A and B are shown apart, each in its own frame.
Chain A
Amino acid sequence: MRLLNRYEKLVIQPPMASKQTLFEKIWNAHLVAQPSGRSPILYIDLHLVHEVTSPQAFDGLRAAGRKVRQTARTVATVDHNIPTEPRGTPITDLIAAKQISALQANCKEFGVRLFDMDSPDQGIVHVIGPELGLTRPGMTIVCGDSHTSTHGAFGALAFGIGTSEVEHVLATQCLAQQKPKTMKIDVRGRLAEGVTAKDLALGIIGQIGTDGATGHVIEYAGTAVRALSMEGRMTLCNMSIEAGARAGMVAPDEITFAYVKGKRFAPHGGEWEKAVEYWRSLPTDEGAAFDKIIEMDAAQLCPFVTWGTNPGMVAPVTGRVPEVNGLTQPERRSTELALLYMGLEPGKRIEDIGIDRVFIGSCTNSRIEDLRAAARVARGHHVSANVRAMVVPGSQTVKRAAEQEGLDQIFLDAGFEWRESGCSMCLGMNPDILQPGERCASTSNRNFEGRQGRGGRTHLVSPMMAAAAAIAGHFTDIRNWKFQ
């Protein structure tokens, strides 16, 4: 699907050695060895660990008699399958409970710092890294989770890895990696009122496709990106993987430094000044070359809604579900399969799609700014009688901040559920799932078949669009919303 008209792609000549991109500066600074005929070995500054993709890695360490090489650079939390009912409620899913206790035991045995279920700092791994100041510009960060790309918002090189590589990093604090290619996505102009970082991400994926950035690290640039808050940049970088990218990055600037400053694990005192001085050297040099450049005009973006079963299947809220006539194979077949699964007729108006559930949360959109935006929409309204709507803060810190601001009360008064932090219904590993056939407006990142529950139908939207859909009972253009 090509949604945007002004779209150009150019390939530039290989870079001159003296001009480097943000990615190249970080890559080069972390090269431990470049053995001939092998992949370069890259040092990893921060390894984030969670319960789902780590047990087999710790088993591997045990079997080989290895230990965690750098416990100071390894941080764990529980997020994927913990319930979002009030803490202390017993976990009824025994296999999930076993996985959580396995992480607790592994962290104890190997000396890894764990932000456990009862910790005031627990939360989604990609929410707590930044809010604790663990995530900083210039770092290499990995986690056994594809949305690790989130941390690139700070001008870090952050990417998801599988369990074998989790074991590799635990054992060596390094990874053997092929050097990815670079892609710049330059977004000119400004996002209009009601058009958010989520819409920018969906607009990009709708344009370049779910494999449009495979093999590349994206650097997001341009005035529209520079104007984003850290929360917005995290949302944008988070969804890089949905375009197939290895990672997404935004060059650090004053907005970045202001966010990091004073965070618990951020550099303090004299270390802070030194760190900022280094961070200022990281942005891409003028004239540095990328393997691919895409230019976009922010003015062409609008609030988007996905209609299909991958994040590239998007339409403007004012648009329609696509027609299949006129499509060629294999696009026609994948569109037909998607519409069949989604229970949608070709040509249906997006605003006529009614919903049953709303999920506001996930590592994409569960930060304080996301909750503020959704609460602003919800204030003075009430969730539609046919809709069940949940708000799941990304972390305990976000939850406390929201409660201090009274956002919880706005949501509760409007008929939303206010829950404990975790990944929740983004992937439905805990009890928060869709029932077969239920249709959900979700602020998460994936609308794959069954992602939020077997037979569940997911439409990806921004937090404001999700809150508005909860109240209207169907998708509605947030740009016409009557705020109260």
Chain B
Amino acid sequence: MSRAARWLHAVLGAFAIATSTAWAGQACDAAPPDTLGMTRALGLAERVQQRLDATDAQVVIIARAGQDLRKYGLNWSHLAFAYREGNAATVPAWQAPPGAALFDGPPAPRPQRSTWRIAHKLNQCGTAEAAVFRQGLAEFFLDTPFRYEAAFVVPAPEVQAALMQVLTDDRRLVQWHTPAYSVVAYPWSTRYQQSNQWALETLAGSLDPAASTRERAQAWLQLHDYQPTVLHIDALTRLGGRITRANVAFDDHPNSKRFSDHIETVTVESMFDWLQREQLAGTPTVVR
């Protein structure tokens, strides 16, 4: 392979990483979605709502497949919390107001539906920053995902109760949030924070009142044997990613690991495995 070809390969590889691992946003493209994508996203959002309603959970941990990460052995790219809003948050039967001349939509079934809110961290336009959002299930799946599928785990009741206290409190929801963003942020550093890492540290902070900072949350996670995923990313690819993308950085990784191409980061799979291993949550349910 020529030098130019190697360089191109490296840059393309970096793009794949930059837009994949812990993928939580996309380029600033305000183009409207196509009809098929919109209807598929809305359909998935409704199916997820139905599956969540069928549980007795108040809080779940949910993943989407925003990007194709199969070459890294990963099926899911982005993690969020979903919680049932209100104790009796069901959709009331619609009734036309007296004298209303307008109708607000097509006839629809009138099942009891809960309102689920998503809490997650999103990267902004591929920049080096991210923010925490509270959204609906529709918005969560309208990111033109790689696959219109979702997976969720139901945490143990005491974990749900602890999470609910944080998810409904704007101040606590950002307590473990750092705006500086890298898609491959090192799990044991606080220089950057990717989306799945925010969810993991927020979970730790919710479970232990002493884990009130990112450093303490990470210490708690190490104490409880959380194991990140190891991605094998060579030097040329790392260099290409760092140069071409603002939201890719490797300088938070220890040199010994970085220079041996071992890039550790927080993934959906590593979190699901750990939650099950620690008996903090059950097995994943996939919704298609």
Specify whether A and B are partners.
no
Chain A interface (Cβ < 8 Å from any Cβ of B):
none
